[in-house]
Amino acid sequence: MQHFEIKGQVRQAAGKATIKAYRKQGLVPCNLYGLGLENVLFTVNAKELKALTDTPKSYIVDIVLDNGEKYQAVLHELQFHPVSDNCLHVDFLAVDEKKPISIEVPIVITGHAIGVQQGGKFVQQSRSIRISALMANLPDDVTVDISKLGLDKKIKAEDIKLDKVNVLTNADTVICMVRATRNSAAATEEAAE
C-alpha cells in the first residue's frame, strides 16, 4: 500500500476559541490514538490535507510532527463543514506493521460483462470494500473482473478472494450487478423463438 507523508505541529488540548483560531490560520485540528498511545493532538495544513482526503485512494499515513516524533496511521474519521465542505477535524488511528490493519480500499472494475453485451445494464453499488491484512500485504485497491457477469447476476463481497487479506465488508453486500432491461428481455424472447 502507498504511503502519504503529512507534517504536523503539536498542539495542546484547547477550547472552541483556540480551535476556531487554528481553522482561520488554515490549519485542521487532528487527533492520533490507538496501539496504547496517549492521544497525540496536532494540527496540519488544510491544503496539504486535501491531497489525502479528496481522493478515493487509501494510504498508510506517515505523520511527522515538529517535535521530531513520527507515527504511522490510517484515516479513521473525518468531519466536514456542512456548507463549505472544508475539513474541520481528523482522527487518525495508529498502526503497527506487525498487527493486522483494517482499512477501506477502492474497488477497480475490469472487463466487459456478458450481460451488458446481451442488452443488460451494469450497475456498480459499492465503490470501496473494507479489508484487513498486515501492512506488507495491503493492496492499493481491489480488482473485480466482471467478464463472466451475466444478466441478472451479482458479485457480492463474499465472492472476492484475496491472498493474505480478509474481507471485512458484510458478505451479502452487492459490489456490482447486471440488470435485465427491456432490450435484453426482447433479445431473449427473439432467441427463444
> pLDDT at position 82, please?
93
Closest listed residue to residue 21, CA positions, set 41, 43, 38, 36:
43
Mean of pLDDT values over 20-26 = 93
pLDDT tier, 35 (very low <50, low <70, confident <90, very high otherwise):
confident
Range(s) of the chain covered by CATH 2.170.120.20: 101-192
Cell of 126: 459499492
Q: What percent of the chain has pLDDT over 70?
A: 94
CATH number of 3-94: 2.40.240.10
Record the pTM: 0.82
Burial of 90 (0-12, 13-18, 19+ CB in 10 A): buried
> pLDDT at position 13, please?
82
Closest listed residue to residue 92, CA positions, set 60, 140, 116:
60
CATH number of 101-192: 2.170.120.20
Cell of 60: 498508510
Per-residue pLDDT tens for 128-183?
999 999 999 999 999 999 999 999 999 999 999 999 999 999 999 999 999 988 77
Per-residue pLDDT tens for 78-90?
999 999 989 999 9
124-128 long-range contacts (CB < 8 A, ≥24 apart) are 124/175, 124/176, 125/173, 125/174, 125/175, 125/176, 125/177, 126/157, 126/169, 126/173, 126/174, 126/175, 126/176, 127/56, 128/56, 128/58, 128/104
Q: Which residue has the cell 484487513?
A: 132
